[in-house]
Amino acid sequence: MKAILLLCVALALIAVVVLVGLRLVKATRIWPAALLIVTAPLEVYRSSSAAGLNVSLFRLALVLGVGALAVDLARGRKRFTRVLAIPFVIYGAFVTWQLISLVFVTPAHSLAYRFLGQYAGGLVAAFIITCYVQRKDLRVVAGLCGAAAVLPLFAAAFRVFSVRHGGSGDLPGLSDLPLDPTIQAARKSGSYLLDGTQRLNATFSDPNHFGFYIATVFLVLTGAIYWILFIEKPTPRRVAASYVLLATSTVVAVIGTYSRSSWLMAGFGVIVLGALLGRSIWTRQRMIAAGTIGLLVLGLASPLILSRLSLSNRGNVESDQVHERTMSVALKLVAHDPVFGVGLGDYGRHARQPSLVSSAHSTFLTVASELGILGVALLLGAITMTSIGAVRSARRAPPGDRAILSGFTAAYVGLALANIFYEVWMDDFQWILFGLVLALTTQDYVSFRGVSLHKRATGRGAAPGAATDQGEVVVC
């Protein structure tokens, strides 16, 4: 009970800071979404409740968001439309399939409940975001994503210097938040490479998860920087300086996680972002400048990157062997039962993984082995539909919006690609990104007035979060 109260107090403090910030930019109406955006990366701040459930800052914010939405619906400030973005519909089918697996297939009920809850909770969070965020909030939301990363970045530096000075490296307050011992071990002890190099993990238990999160913020900020430097006139120097410095911090943090998957995500995301920004804005001078900056960063970081990527590095060899083994086990399980899979959350038992772990180090292979071909097809369908809508929307948006939308889209596509080689699809920030992409871009949707499939959202009656290319949004 004490732990829950502490989390509530922390959430109240965060809410005050968020409201003050939103007040300054005159966007207080998006506070439920803002609270979710800010609390999503504070992953370590959670505790086991008496009922055995994990209560985190994000989940408390989610409860608050659901309450706010209910109040707004009751007061008539929001209204439900009978349309739903197609990715939501596909995810609905996916969760139903998970439920079927839980009831009829899997023997690992405990883990299955956790996984199902993670997806269902994530979808609710994404839905709340689509209900509050509109295309006109694009710049505010981009800034909010950057601001939310400040605390994790600070925590990353704090942990390193704490260990350097003989401290434990634990973040303040964690000892008052008891957790399952297996999770607590990962939360508190940090992560080191075989040669003793400490990896940045900030407010996450796993440096890879932090790497994915911070790479997401980097891509969003890169899009926003492009807007500030080249489109916004006159250029707001202070804002530009803040964004550039924050983006530099995120680049340093991405490198400092020593997470190869998040490096892949950042690299691929930059390529997608460049492609989405289009040829018209890539003048010769800008290409030379961008190339020089890129080479400079790579040159400075090359000793770290090369040592981590070296094929002769024993740690890499062993890590690759582990990944190959988990992936081959997943493929064998898919071949063994392609229809139903081994059951939600039961992959770990077949791969002889510790309790509470069920991961093939690839989101898609884990889902395929646990839920069969239909399960992975639904997941891929949801991701593909979201990506198509986001890419189409970014390409058709006016230049100012296009830069920032490209950042969000590149982050989403990059995150999806990197999940081939790692597994962070159930993370809270992934659902936040998913919700933001749906809220800010134009998505196909299904109308439940006679169940007709609409090609594009065009205004009133649009799917929750589906903005038109002109920036008009009708949500709830």
Partner 1 sequence: MLRLRPRLAAWAPPIALGALTVALIAAVIVTRHGRGLLVRAPVPQVIARKVSGVPTPRVPSQKASFDAEVIYGAGLTNVAPSPVAALKTQLGDEWRELGRAVGRLLVRPSGTRSQYFEIGMVAVAPQGSARLEILTSTNQKGITPVNAGASQVISFGPFLASKHGRTGIALKSVQPHDAKVGARLLLSPLQAEYLAPGEPVMRMPALAELGPNGLRGMNIPNGVTARLQIAPGISGRCMVTLKAAGIGGTLRVTAAVGNETHSVLVGSRPAVIHIGPFLHPSSVLSLSASSRGAYASTRLFLSNVRLVAAPPRA
Stretch that binds partner 1, among 65-73, 107-115, 155-163, 445-453 (CB under 8 A): 155-163
Q: Is 169 in the site for partner 1 (CB under 8 A)?
A: yes
Among 5, 20, 25, 245, the residue binding partner 1 under the rule CB under 8 A is: 245
Q: Is 472 in the site for partner 1 (CB under 8 A)?
A: no
What is the size of the binding site for partner 1 (CB under 8 A)?
A: 53
Among 28, 118, 242, 458, the residue binding partner 1 under the rule CB under 8 A is: 242
Q: Is 304 in the site for partner 1 (CB under 8 A)?
A: yes
The residue among 80 and 154 lying less far from partner 1, judged by its C-beta, is 154
Among 198, 313, 447, 470, the residue binding partner 1 under the rule CB under 8 A is: 198
- Residue 430: CB minimum distance to partner 1, A: 23
- Residue 180: CB minimum distance to partner 1, A: 10
3-state secondary structure the chain: CHHHHHHHHHHHHHHHHHHHHHHHCCCHHHHHHHHHHHHCCCCCCEEECCCCCEEEHHHHHHHHHHHHHHHHHHCCCCCCCCEEEHHHHHHHHHHHHHHHHHHHHCCCHHHHHHHHHHHHHHHHHHHHHHHHCCHHHHHHHHHHHHHHCHHHHHHHHHHHHHHHCCCCCCCCCHHHCCCCHHHHHHHHHCCECCCCCECCCCCCCCHHHHHHHHHHHHHHHHHHHHHHHHHCCCCCHHHHHHHHHHHHHHHHHHHHCCCHHHHHHHHHHHHHHHHHHCHHHCCHHHHHHHHHHHHHHHHHHHHHHHHHHCCCCHHHHHHHHHHHHHHHHHHHHHHHCCCCCCCCCCHHHHCCCCCCCCCCCCHHHHHHHHHHHHHHHHHHHHHHHHHHHHHHHHHHCCHHHHHHHHHHHHHHHHHHHHCCCCCCCCCHHHHHHHHHHHHHCCCCEEECCCCEEECCCCCCCCCCCCECCCCCECCC
Q: Is 52 in the site for partner 1 (CB under 8 A)?
A: no
Among 195, 280, 451, 460, the residue binding partner 1 under the rule CB under 8 A is: 195
The residue among 4 and 380 lying less far from partner 1, judged by its C-beta, is 4
The residue among 118 and 197 lying less far from partner 1, judged by its C-beta, is 197
The residue among 168 and 452 lying less far from partner 1, judged by its C-beta, is 168
Among 78, 109, 188, 396, the residue binding partner 1 under the rule CB under 8 A is: 188
- Residue 193: CB minimum distance to partner 1, A: 9
Interface map 95-134 toward partner 1 (x if CB under 8 A): ----------------------------------------
Interface positions, 317-346, toward partner 1 (CB under 8 A):
318-319, 321-322
Interface positions, 354-373, toward partner 1 (CB under 8 A):
354
Among 116, 163, 275, 426, the residue binding partner 1 under the rule CB under 8 A is: 163
Q: Which residues bind partner 1 (CB under 8 A)?
A: 150, 153-154, 156-157, 160-161, 163-164, 166-170, 175, 178, 181-186, 188-189, 191-192, 194-200, 238, 241-242, 245-246, 248-249, 252-253, 255-256, 303-304, 314-315, 318-319, 321-322, 354
